[in-house]
């Protein structure tokens, strides 16, 4: 158990590990945001194209 606690303490002190976690969280938020934006944009574009094609 002491070895596990020591490893946890070392991980918390290691700033490289923290930096990696920050980048992973940032990348996940970026992907989530882009998915939301492009999903809404795709639906809007599809609706406009359907309107144009329906008018032909």
Closest CA to 23 of 11, 15, 35: 15
pLDDT one-digit tens code per residue, 3-54: 888 887 887 777 676 688 889 999 999 999 999 888 888 888 889 999 999 9
How many separate domains does the chain show? 1
Residue 51 has what pLDDT? 92
Cβ–Cβ < 8 Å for 36, 30: no
Evaluate the CA torsion angle 31, 35, 37, 38 in order and state its sign. Answer: positive
Residue-range definition of the domain harbouring residue 24: 2-55
Helix H, strand E, coil C: the string for the chain is: CHHHHHHHHHHHHCHHHHHHHHHHHHHHHHHHHHHHHHHHHHHHHHHHHHHHHHHC
């Amino acid at each position: 158990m002491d070895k596990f606690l020591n490893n946890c303490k070392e991980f918390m002190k290691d700033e490289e590990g923290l930096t990696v976690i920050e980048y992973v969280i940032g990348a996940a938020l970026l992907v989530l945001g882009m998915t939301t934006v492009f999903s809404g944009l795709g639906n809007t574009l599809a609706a406009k194209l359907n309107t144009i094609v329906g008018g032909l």
